[in-house]
Amino acid sequence: MHLCCCFYCLAFTFLSFYSLSFQELDSEYTVFQAAWSLKTRALTEMVYVDEIDMDQEGIAEMILDENAVAQVARPGTSLKLPGTGQGGGPSPAVRPVTQSGRPITGFVRPSTQGGRPSTMEQAIRTPRTALTARPITSASGGYIRPGTASMLTNPDGPFINLSRLNLTKYAQKPKLAKALFEYIFHHENDIKNALDLAALATEHAQFKDWWWKVQIGKCYYRLGLYREAEKQFKSALKQQDMVDTFLYLAKVYLRLDQPVTALNLFKQGLERFPGEVTLICGIARIYEEMNNISSAAEYYKDVLKQDNTHVEAIACIGSNHFYSDQPEIALRFYRRLLQMGVYNCQLFNNLGLCCFYAQQYDMTLSSFERALFLAENEEETADVWYNLGHVAVGIGDLNLAYQCFKLTLVNNNDYAEAYNNLAVLEMQKGHTEQARALLQTASSLAPHMYEPHFNTAILSEKLHSHRC
């Protein structure tokens, strides 16, 4: 790793000393080409994002999506409509769900951070429980840093002037073309020029290079042309079986809301690559998003049989045991993560909850104290105070619970669950008007939650009012 960094630094120094541009390179300057290629790869590595995991869906993609999707999907065949899972998962009374109707997972992934709202108002609204289903302003938001990073490498402008490139010339040089494509795609975020270069290069290779077909598919996917991307990935698989190609093609099917097809594709990949962890984990993720928690847990266990240090599998199995009323078993999995070196606010937050429900009270408050110390933003701090409020309710200290829920709202004013719990405490104090206002706020922030509506009905019944 250190040797690679030294080569990168050498390339930067070498090219800066000679002040060479890419347009000046020719076939006889092989040394200069090697140095230029090394610097290009170094710049790409600085902003590289794995396209397999990077799958954020913004408001523009969710609202202006023109791909035809079945409005009334059969049960177990769609990820867009909540409640169409095959079952096997707990109800929202046991396991909370996000705004998009999916159960909160034990591991936050980029692919689960985009919801599927039906209206613009719902897309713009950002309640607290949508931390795993909150729409971002645009799918290109995740690529803002790669798109502008080129201006930071040289005060005089970008390293390569794409407008002056003769793509046809460089497509005939396979080694330089691949480095140039990755630079344009990841560093410059210029999908059009990247697609043009990939098309010219695959034509020069007489359509026999599977790598270029995969890159064309990635460009089509970024442009929203999913059917064209599907054709390219399938063509690449016919020439060469690669795990990444299976993962890219599965992403296309998931974006087209075809989880069953993606599952079959992963199983085909396992026949060619038995025991491949990424393929097994992909199956588990799909089952989890379909609310088939039991099947997801089985596949996560298969992941641990192949890789017993897989953080996502350990976290998801631990979360499943916790919501299945088995906090002692969940505690073992979270302690395993701690032994592996995972050290963050979320882990200690989960450890505190597991210790409390497993009646290991000596470790509960110390875990939450460490979680507060490791919190990096106000949302994480609000989560810890909210859970401390539940601990206070469990031990019967309602005054402490009231203060904890208040501190939750101080850190995150959109925390719908805290409003709901404060309303219950106000009801017990006899403050009906305050309770009604808090319940209305909770309902407006999180319309997918059933607790505020149920508590509003109870409050109205006590007040002899049939209006809910």
Residue tagged 């979360």 (tokens): 319
Which residues, other chains included, contact 167 with Cβ-Cβ below 8 Å and sequence gap of 6+?
193, 196, 197, 200
SS3 readout for 291-347: CCHHHHHHHHHHHHHHCCCCHHHHHHHHHHHHHCCCHHHHHHHHHHHHHCCCCCHHH
Measure the CA–CA gap between 84 and 74, rounded to whole angstroms. 7
The residue type found at 59 is: I
Mean pLDDT by 10 residues, the chain (468 residues): 48 44 50 79 85 64 61 69 53 60 61 45 43 38 44 60 81 88 89 93 92 96 92 96 95 92 96 95 92 92 95 94 93 95 93 94 94 94 95 94 96 94 93 93 90 91 67
The backbone region for 415, taken as left when phi is positive above 0, alpha when psi lies in -120 to 50, beta otherwise, is: beta
**Tally of CB atoms within 10 A around 443:** 19
Contacts 24+ apart (CB under 8 A), 169-178: 170/197, 171/197, 171/200, 171/201, 171/203, 171/204, 172/204, 173/27, 174/201, 174/205, 174/209, 175/37, 176/25, 176/33, 176/36, 176/37, 177/201, 178/211
Spell out the domain ranges in the chain. Answer: 2-46
CA distances from 294 to 89, 245, 305 (A): 7, 28, 17
For residue 371, which of 410, 335, 404, 344 has the smallest C-alpha distance?
A: 344
pTM: 0.80
Structure-block tokens of residue 285: 């993720």
What's residue 382's pLDDT? 95
- Residue 355, helix vs strand vs coil: helix
What's residue 147's pLDDT? 45
Measure the CA–CA gap between 111 and 252, rounded to whole angstroms. 12
The separation between CA 421 and the C-alpha centre of its own chain, rounded to angstroms, equals 29
Please, what is the angle between helix 226-239 and helix 210-222, to 10°?
160
What's residue 174's pLDDT? 84
Measure the CA–CA gap between 436 and 444, rounded to whole angstroms. 12
Q: Which ranges constitute the DSSP H helices of 205-325?
A: 210-222, 226-239, 243-255, 259-272, 277-289, 293-306, 311-323
The H or E element spanning position 443 is helix 432-445
What's residue 189's pLDDT? 86
Measure the CA–CA gap between 214 and 231, rounded to whole angstroms. 10
Return phi, psi of residue 136, to 5°: -90, 170
What's residue 289's pLDDT? 87
For residue 105, which of 262, 323, 252, 278 has the smallest C-alpha distance?
A: 323
What's residue 326's pLDDT? 93
